Amino acid sequence: MSDELPVLSVGNPVFEVLRQKKEVYVDKSKYLPMLSEWGQFIFCARPRRFGKSLTVSSLDAFYSGRIDLFKGLAVEEHISSPAFVPRPVISLDMSDAADSDSKEILKRNIMDILEDNAEHHQVSLRGADYANALKYLLIDVRKASGQKVVLLIDEYDSPVISLAERDKLTFNAQLLADTRIVMRNFYREIKRASEFIELVFITGCTKFSRMGVFSSLNNLADISLEEKFAAFMGYTQEELESYFAPFIDRAANKLGKSREVLLKQIQEYYDGFSFDGKTNLYNPSSTIEFFKTSEFGDYWVDSGSGSFVKNFLKDKSLTVDQFQGMVVNKKFAKSPGEIDATSSHGFLYQAGYLTLRAATDTTFTLDFPNKEVRSALSAFFLENFFPDSDYIDRAERDLAGHLASGDVPGIAHVLKRLLHGICGSDHSDANREFHDDSIEAAVRVTAGPAFPDDSVRSLSKSLAKILLGKKGESFYRSVLQAALWAAGAKTTPEKWENLGRLDLEVLFGQITYVIELKMSDNADGADAAVRAGMDQITKKDYGEASERPVLVSIAIGREERNIVACLFEKDGRETAVEFD
C-alpha cells in the first residue's frame, strides 16, 4: 500500500522542487493573484514553520510565469491567460542574514543575498552600501527586464528573532540596537524605489515597529488578520481530509482505530491555530510529520527553541493557564509588541503558543491552539520545577492510568508526590506576603482622594481577606493542571457554569472530573476545607452538564505546601482519600 501513496514533502519549502517531485501540495494558489488587489505593499505574519517560505516560493514561480508548475491547480487558468504578464522577481530570504555577530557581518550577509539576486537577473550590483544596493538592484532589474519588479521578503524579522533565541532571555542590547538600525535602513530603501515595483510581499512571525518596514511603507496592507486570507497558510479540515486521505487510512490501519476516531484525535492534537478567530487550521509541519510516521508527536514544538520558551516561563514566573481566555483587542493581535519589551502573553502569542478565538467585532480571546502546544507548555512549566525528566514521565504515565480507570485515590497520590518534589523556594505566590499598608495604598489610588478614609480601610481589609484566602491557589492549580494536561487530559480552568465558576474540569476519555481546589492554613483545617469544596460543587451543580461526573474536592495546606485532604463523589458515593 505504501508504494501507491503520493509523496510527502520532506520539509523542502521550494515550490518548484515540490511540484517537480510530485509531492503533496495543498493547493493555495487561488490566493496568489488576490494579493495585488490589496495594494502595492502587502504584509502577512504567521508562526514559524507555517508555510511562509513555501508561499514566497510559490509567488516567485507565479510571477515568473512558470505555467508548467501550476498545471492542475486553481490558478492555472489565470496564469495561462494572454492577459497575464510575468514579472521579474527579487526574492530575499532574510533568515540567510540571521545569526550575525556584528552589524558589519549582518551587512555583509545582506550583500550576499543581493549578489545572488543580481547574478540571477544578470545585472551588476552597485551602490554605496548594502541599503543603497537594494534600491539600485530594483532599478536595474526594472530597466533590464522592461517590467516592474515583484519584491518578496521572507522572514523579514529573522535577524532580530535569532538574537533572542541565541541569547536566551538576556539580549545583547548594543547588538540588538545595531541590528534594528541596519534593517531599518535597508527596508527604507523599498519606498524610495517604489516607482520600479509592481508588488512587495513581506512575511515574518510578527509585526515589529522598530524594523523600518511599517514606518517607511505607510500604505502597507497587513492581511495577517483578514478573514479573506485566514486559510492562506495552514490546512483546513476539508483540505486535510481531501489531500491526505490515503495517509489517514494508513494511520488508522496502523494504529487500529476507525477513521472517525483517528480524525478526532488528529484534530485535537494539531488543529486549532486561527488568524481571524473563526477559521481553525492545522499546523503544516506537525501534520506532515504525523502522516510520515503515523505516530503522534510534538513535531512543531520540537522543531523550535523549546528551551527559550521554557526559560521565559520560569523567568517571568508564569503559570500555564493565566492567559487562556484573556481578552485582547485587534490592535494587540496585529502588533503584540517588540521582542525585548512585549508583555508575557504578547511573547507567547508571537511564538505561536497562543492563538486567537473570536470574542466581539473588536476583540479576541487568547487560547492554546491544540493539544500539542498545550501539552508542551505544561511540560516546560513542570520541567522548571523538576529537572529530572524521568520523574515527570513517570508521573504522567501513572496519572494517565489512574485517569483512564477513574481511580481518584491514585490520581491524588500522584499529584501529592509531584508537589512534594517542588523546591520550597519555587512555590511562587504561595510564598507571597500581603502587607496591609500596600493594599490600603493601592485602594486609595484606585478610589481617589475624595473617597472616605473609613471606607478605604474597610475595602482594604476585605481585599486582604480575599487575597489571603486565595494565596497560593493559582500556583497549585496551575501545577495540577499542567500535570493533567501533560498526562493527556483535556483540562479547562475556572470554567463558567450556570451558577458559578469551577476550578478545573478534566476530561479523559469518557470520564469527566469536576475538581474544586481549596486552601487551608495547615492539615488541621483540611477536613473543613474539602467539605467546603464538595459543598460548593453540589450547591452550584458543577458538572451537571456531564453524564455521571466524578466530583473531587482537594485541600492544599499552606504550611505543608501539598495536598492535605481529598474528598470525592463517584456514582453517588462519597469517599475520603487516605494518605500515609
Partners of residue 506 on adjacent β-strands: 491, 513
pTM: 0.81
Partners of residue 195 on adjacent β-strands: none
DSSP of 169-223: T---HHHHHHHHHHHHHHHHHHHHTGGGEEEEEEEESS--GGGSHHHH-TT-EE-
Rounded to whole angstroms, the Cα distance separating 211 from 156 reads 9
Say what the pLDDT of residue 462 is.
Answer: 54
Residue type, 197: I
- The grid cell for 440 is 490600603
Under DSSP, the state recorded for 96 is G
All domains of the chain in start order, with CATH: 32-224 (3.40.50), 387-432+471-580 (3.90.1570), 433-470 (no CATH)
Which residue in 243, 246, 225 sits closest to 235, CA to CA?
243
pLDDT tens-digit profile, the chain (580 residues): 445 788 998 667 899 999 999 999 999 999 999 999 998 999 999 998 999 999 999 999 999 999 999 999 999 999 999 999 999 999 999 999 988 889 999 999 999 999 999 999 999 999 889 999 999 999 999 999 999 999 999 999 898 888 765 645 456 778 888 988 999 999 999 989 999 999 999 999 887 766 667 777 778 899 999 999 999 999 999 999 999 999 999 999 999 999 999 999 999 999 999 999 999 999 999 999 999 999 999 999 888 766 778 777 777 767 677 788 888 888 888 888 776 667 788 888 888 899 999 888 889 999 999 999 988 888 887 877 776 677 778 888 999 999 999 999 999 999 998 888 776 544 454 444 444 554 455 545 555 566 677 765 665 555 444 434 444 577 788 788 888 888 888 888 878 777 778 888 999 988 999 999 998 888 899 999 999 999 999 999 898 878 889 999 999 998 888 999 999 999 999 999 998 7
Number of C-beta neighbours around residue 195 at 10 A: 9
Partners of residue 328 on adjacent β-strands: 364
Rounded to whole angstroms, the Cα distance separating 251 from 315 reads 40
Say what the pLDDT of residue 77 is.
Answer: 96
Residue with C-alpha cell 494572454? 82
Rounded to whole angstroms, the Cα distance separating 95 from 106 reads 11
- The grid cell for 398 is 501513572
Say what the pLDDT of residue 340 is.
Answer: 64
Rounded to whole angstroms, the Cα distance separating 178 from 102 reads 8
Partners of residue 199 on adjacent β-strands: 150
Spell 468-477 as b/e; 16+ CB within 10 A means b. eeebbbbbbb
